[in-house]
């Protein structure tokens, strides 16, 4: 039981850590900001006198570092499991087979749920950015069309003389 409790807590800790540290700089958020025209991710950052990175590369590295920094080592997990096991024994808490099944199920479903929520949030963020970009494009296109119509209405309209023209006089009907 202690093993499963620790695994659930560690999974939540790792996912929460990554979410908290990358929520404003993850790829989906950066795409959304870029589509809205709020940031330019091609800006170069000088990391040293000889090393440069674009903003996109810099934030991708920060996200990778956050994922690596979120990991709880196996040794720490084992130590925490042992300490929790001792507390559970001292308190006389021993899981029934049904409780054990529930803990294992909760761990598996919880981990998948956290992953699904993260993917869903990323997709929704990208879609929101794309919709906003499309809306702005449509508004810009409508404004350009309206401007072209205004310009066209200001131009004098050419009228052709009615009746037969030289072109029609030269045309012959072929049977």
Local confidence pLDDT in tens for the 175 residues of the chain: 778 888 888 888 898 888 888 888 888 888 888 888 888 888 888 888 888 988 888 888 888 888 888 898 999 999 998 998 888 888 887 777 888 788 778 878 887 887 788 777 777 776 677 677 777 878 888 888 888 888 877 776 555 555 555 555 555 555 5
CA 42 vs CA 93, 99, 130: distances in Å: 57, 53, 19
Q: Which domain holds residue 65?
A: 2-133
pLDDT of residue 161: 53
pLDDT of residue 124: 75
Question: Do the beta carbons of residue 32 and residue 126 sit within 8 Å?
Answer: yes
Sheet strands (E) in 26-169: 44-46, 52-54
pLDDT of residue 76: 92
143 within a domain of the structure (yes/no): no
Q: How far apart are CA 120 and CA 129, in angstroms?
A: 14
- Beta-strand pair 44-46/52-54: antiparallel
25 within a domain of the structure (yes/no): yes
- Number of structural domains (the chain) is 1
75 within a domain of the structure (yes/no): yes
pLDDT of residue 75: 93
Burial call 110-133: b when 16+ CB within 10 Å, e when fewer:
ebeebeeebeeebeebbeebeeeb
* ∠ Cα 136 139 143 (to 5°): 140
79 within a domain of the structure (yes/no): yes
Q: How far apart are CA 107 and CA 62, in angstroms?
A: 28
8 within a domain of the structure (yes/no): yes
pLDDT of residue 89: 81
CA 60 vs CA 3, 18, 54: distances in Å: 33, 13, 10
């Amino acid at each position: 039981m202690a093993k499963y409790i620790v695994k659930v807590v560690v999974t939540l800790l790792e996912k929460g850590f990554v979410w908290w540290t990358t929520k404003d700089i993850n790829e989906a958020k950066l795409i959304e900001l870029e589509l809205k025209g709020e940031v330019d991710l091609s800006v170069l950052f000088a990391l040293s006198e000889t090393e440069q990175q674009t903003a996109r590369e810099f934030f991708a590295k920060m996200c990778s570092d956050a994922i690596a920094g979120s990991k709880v080592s196996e040794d720490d997990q084992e130590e925490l499991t042992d300490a929790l096991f001792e507390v559970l024994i001292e308190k006389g808490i021993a899981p029934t087979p049904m409780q054990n099944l529930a803990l294992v199920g909760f761990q598996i479903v919880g981990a998948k749920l956290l992953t699904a929520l993260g993917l869903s949030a990323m997709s929704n963020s990208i879609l929101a950015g794309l919709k906003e970009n499309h809306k702005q494009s449509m508004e810009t296109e409508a404004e350009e069309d309206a401007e072209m119509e205004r310009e066209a209405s200001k131009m004098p309209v050419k009228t052709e003389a009615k009746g037969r023209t030289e072109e029609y006089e030269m045309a012959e009907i072929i049977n």
